[in-house]
Amino acid sequence: MEVSAKLKEIMKEIVIPGADAIRGNITLPLKIKDATVSWKSSAPDVITDRAVGRIAAGVVTRGSFDRDVLLTATVSLDGETAVKDIIVHVLKSPTKIKDEDYTAYLFGHFIGEEGEDGEQIYFAVSEEGLNFKDMNGGQPVLTSSVGEKGMRDPFIYRSHEGDRFFLVATDLSIYHRGGWIKNEQGYFDASTTGSSYLVLWESDDLVNWRGPELIKAAPENAGMAWAPEIIYCDETGEYIIFFASSIMDPETRMKAKPNAIYYVATRDFVNFSETKLFIDCQCDGEKNGKEREIIDTTVIKIGDTYYSASKDGDNDEQNGGIRIMKTKDLLNPYSWEKVLDLDELHLDLTDAGVDVLDNSQLEGPEFFRYNKADRKDPSAKEIGIIADRYATGQGYLPLSTSDIEDWDNRKGSWKVLSGSEYSFDKLKKRHGTILRITEKERARLKKAFMK
């Protein structure tokens, strides 16, 4: 029976992105416009066709060899039904990377807004996570041709399966905007008229990148989408892309809510959820209960606990700092509990280049794991955290800890590294990302970019 033109158009929208080389969980839409969709998989052990708890259908399990799977979509609209078959090719599982396989580190960053190339992506590498060497002759590795034609605050994430990489960055060019200009409301214009998009790149080898693409991320009436990062949510089987955003009153152009952290979820980096709140503003210590701004969030999972570090409070806001919080429920914005502020640790700052570890001097915190060979105790999960000394223009300050929850440093697990213990080479490292890499990946990067 001939189906209606409306249903035919809906059927055209049923596609599986990257169907010829599936590496991770896929999106199986249950509704398209006014139509409902049900799915049947020829191999549910490879691609599921039923939801399990919070995990939607479309979970992919890669085996020891490639598999073709037939997915059948049954679409219903106004009493009509139509069927569409899609064959997808699921690649075999990559070799699992063990902890001891990581031997080096890749640092992705931008360098500033003084020139046209400053707000692009630069690479540096290190063999022990302390001394980095600039790559590509000090020139950008990736350059944006979309949006504001600038990229800041990059983050590189290794896929859950291990054989892909995603890079997200802020779509912003202060250089092309003519600098940090304040508007008549007293805000920096870039934070209230900024892009609501993020810049996305994808790679299979860290050398050859597909992109750039713009992805819509920020909520309605947002003033910007800044400092994105990615983490995989085991509880839902999807990637969480989180970022800082402000909500503006469209009439007054004043902030209806201070900057907070929001997210979109995705499985395939093509289909994205609606924007939701990720971490709300803090107001403890404020006599009037006023919420402080929050930006620059980084998240790491240790065991079954997620830890975040953020710049809590704008530059001149009181009671703010580099705040670390924790939760076991990643997508519940009200479940985060304070662990500590860095300045509460009372660390020795003699050679730190700052006199206090709070929001007035630091921003852009970034978690990373030290490789097994670089830990003082190989059995301990030693964590690095770097923060940008924006107030003094000295670039990143590294800290380390073997116990994030040592809130008063009674165990002596927290340490500020002295200037003699690290080097970030010649280029200034602005708000960047550190990724653990294998020896094969380091050699590949060195061959491509070490000039």
**Which tens digit of pLDDT belongs to each residue from 74-84?**
999 989 999 99
More confident residue, 419 or 238: 238
Residue range 29-50, pLDDT digits in tens? 999 999 999 999 999 999 999 9
- To the question of pTM greater than 0.75 for the whole model, the response is yes
Give the integer Cα–Cα distance in Å for 379 and 140. Answer: 37
Residue 145: strand, helix, or coil: coil
Mean pLDDT of the chain: 95
Give the integer Cα–Cα distance in Å for 39 and 49. Answer: 6
306: left (phi over 0), alpha (psi -120 to 50) or beta: beta
Q: How many CA atoms lie within 13 A of 183 on its CB side?
A: 15
What pLDDT shows up at residue 287?
81
CA 260 vs CA 219, 313, 314: distances in Å? 11, 10, 11
pLDDT (mean) for 334-347:
96
Residue range 55-72, pLDDT digits in tens? 999 999 999 999 999 999
- Own/partner pairs, 140-145, CB within 8 angstroms, 24+ separation: 141/108, 141/449, 142/167, 142/201, 142/209, 142/211, 142/212, 143/117, 144/120, 144/169, 144/171, 144/199, 144/212, 145/212
What pLDDT shows up at residue 109?
97
Give the integer Cα–Cα distance in Å for 383 and 309. Answer: 12
pLDDT (mean) for 165-193:
94
Q: Two tokens at 170?
A: 């802020």
Percent of the chain beyond pLDDT 90?
Answer: 89
CATH 2.115.10.20 domain locations along the chain: 99-449
Residue range 120-173, pLDDT digits in tens? 999 999 999 999 999 999 999 999 999 999 999 999 999 999 999 999 999 999
3-state secondary structure 280-349: CCCCCCCCCCCCCCEEEEEEEEECCEEEEEEEECCCCCCCCEEEEEEECCCCCCCCCEEEEEHHHHCCCC
pLDDT (mean) for 175-203:
94
Residue 448: strand, helix, or coil: helix
Q: Is pLDDT at 378 greater than 90 in this prediction?
A: no
What pLDDT shows up at residue 16?
97
Give the integer Cα–Cα distance in Å for 223 and 190. Answer: 8
Q: Is pLDDT at 1 greater than 70 in this prediction?
A: no
pLDDT (mean) for 225-231:
98
Bridge partners, 90 (sequence order): 22, 67
More confident residue, 132 or 394: 132
Bridge partners, 77 (sequence order): 80
Q: Is pLDDT at 387 greater than 70 in this prediction?
A: yes
Q: Is pLDDT at 413 greater than 90 in this prediction?
A: yes
Is-contact 200 167, C-beta < 8 A?
yes
Burial of 90 (0-12, 13-18, 19+ CB in 10 A): buried
Domain 99-449: which CATH number of 3.40.50.720, 3.65.10.10, 2.115.10.20, 1.10.150.130 = 2.115.10.20
DSSP state at residue 55 = B
pLDDT (mean) for 255-279:
96
What pLDDT shows up at residue 8?
86
What pLDDT shows up at residue 241?
98
Q: Is pLDDT at 379 greater than 90 in this prediction?
A: no
> H helices within 109-252, ranges in order?
174-177
Is-contact 425 135, C-beta < 8 A?
no
Highest-pLDDT range among 179-183, 250-254, 434-438:
434-438
Confidence of residue 380 (pLDDT cuts 50, 70, 90): confident
DSSP state at residue 188 = B
pLDDT (mean) for 382-389:
95
